[in-house]
Structure 1
Amino acid sequence: MNEIVQKADELHCSYPNGITLSDRLVDGVVGNLYVGTAKDGELLFGNLAASTLPKYYER
């Protein structure tokens, strides 16, 4: 498991209902990071506008 996926998994364990972090450096890019779970239980994480990302994954 690469370092980014491992950190996302650790955050998911700490915040099982999902968490949005603003202005974070991820793989050399500063942005908003959402870590949560899809309806099928799959770990989700990504870099979009903080208010948009959870809704994006919900669809």
Structure 2
Amino acid sequence: MEHIAHTVKQFLRDEDGVTAIEYGLIASLIAVVIIVSVQTVGNKLNAVFDYIQTKLVTP
């Protein structure tokens, strides 16, 4: 019984899993920021090309 209690206490003190979860959350947050940034830049770039296209087509 003492072995089980010791194992449970050791499991609760172990912070490796918590650290891995934190790194996973940080990585996913960075990925979301990158995706949103790329979409925003892409939309603005698309608007610029549309503007250029209308100016080239219209005499």
The two structures have a TM-score, normalised by structure 2, of 0.25
The structure that is helix-richer by fraction is: 2
Structure number with greater CO (CA < 8 Å, separation at least 6) is: 1
Which is higher, the Rg of structure 1 or of structure 2?
2
The two structures have a TM-score, normalised by structure 1, of 0.25
